[in-house]
């Protein structure tokens, strides 16, 4: 038994960006390319259950908490937005049904499902290039970069960030996430945050000793203390969303894909 959680917009927008703008019937080609990517993922991971996790249009709780959230991210192209219902329908026809949680991002919904399946000892694969999912990697939860055909395992995470998955929230609390316009401590990047966590163990332990941190670094940390809790909240994936999910509704059968492909 394996659950495959597909980060819908992450997959669809990456595919969309790879289809030339000047091709005829671009929307159809994007849809076909998305389905081809899904079939490849199904063949590789052989899930017993598959879920396309999407997002409801409108403001998420993060934007309400922090109005600058994702302020520099380009809006979804209109033609792609108009194509989403037909893409979701095509996924459903091949046996991959979708869900979304109003007021929450797909990341939070995926995290909530993955934590639930982990408690049930069900192996779960998250298909996404979003680094925020690295904080979930561990027993029963795998993160797979579909486009580079690479599992982002514990060793990859330690090499890339300098900390294990369980310390990623603390790392991003200090470093922030520039791609999402989430501020961290001034002049503290991933490498500096990693060194601080190696020395102090956690953000909470660092704050207990912040008065003793010398130089400009200590000054910047003390000046940024007021934002730390908000940043920590923003970079932490919610794991408590009640989705009314029944896994049986998302059981995947190879026969459904074969029926669509013929």
User: Which stretches within 126-214 are classed as H helix?
Assistant: 154-161, 168-175, 190-200, 203-208
- More confident site: 74 or 158: 158
pLDDT over 60 (residue 17):
yes
pLDDT of res. 255: 55
Q: Which domains does the chain have, with CATH numbers?
A: 3-157+237-255 (3.40.50.1010), 162-235 (1.10.150.20)
Q: What is the DSSP secondary-structure string of 25-66? A: THHHHHHHHHHHHHHHHHHHH--SEEEEE---SS--HHHHH-
Q: Is the confidence at residue 258, as pLDDT, over 70? A: no
pLDDT more than 70, % of the chain:
97
Please name the residues in contact with 253: beta carbons below 8 A apart, sequence gap of 6 or more: 95
Please provide the distance, in angstroms rounded to a whole number, between the alpha carbons at the two ends of the chain: 26
Whether the predicted pLDDT of 106 surpasses 70? yes
What's the average model confidence in pLDDT over 104-109? Answer: 96
DSSP H/E element including 145: strand 141-145
């Amino acid at each position: 038994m394996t659950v495959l959680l597909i980060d819908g917009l992450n997959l669809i927008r990456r595919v969309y960006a790879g289809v030339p703008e000047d091709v005829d019937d671009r929307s159809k080609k994007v849809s076909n390319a998305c389905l081809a990517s899904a079939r490849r993922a199904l063949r590789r991971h052989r899930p017993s259950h598959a879920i396309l996790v999407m997002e409801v249009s409108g403001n998420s709780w993060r934007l309400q908490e922090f109005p600058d959230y994702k302020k520099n991210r380009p809006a979804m192209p209109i033609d792609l937005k108009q194509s989403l219902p037909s893409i979701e329908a095509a996924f459903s026809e091949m046996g991959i049904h979708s869900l979304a949680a109003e007021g929450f991002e797909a990341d939070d919904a995926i995290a909530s499902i993955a934590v639930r399946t982990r408690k049930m000892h069900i192996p779960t694969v998250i298909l996404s290039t979003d680094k925020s999912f690295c904080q979930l990697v561990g027993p029963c939860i795998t993160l797979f970069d579909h486009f580079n055909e690479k599992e982002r395992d514990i060793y990859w995470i330690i090499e890339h960030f300098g900390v294990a998955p369980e310390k990623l929230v603390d790392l991003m609390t200090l470093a922030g996430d520039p791609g999402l316009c989430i501020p961290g401590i001034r002049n503290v990047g991933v490498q500096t945050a990693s060194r601080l966590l190696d020395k102090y163990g956690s953000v909470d332990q660092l704050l207990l000793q912040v008065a003793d941190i010398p130089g400009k670094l200590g000054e910047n940390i003390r000046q940024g203390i007021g934002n730390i809790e908000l940043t920590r909240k923003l970079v932490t994936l919610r794991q408590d969303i009640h989705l009314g999910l029944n896994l049986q509704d998302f059981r995947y059968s190879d026969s459904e894909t074969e029926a669509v492909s013929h």
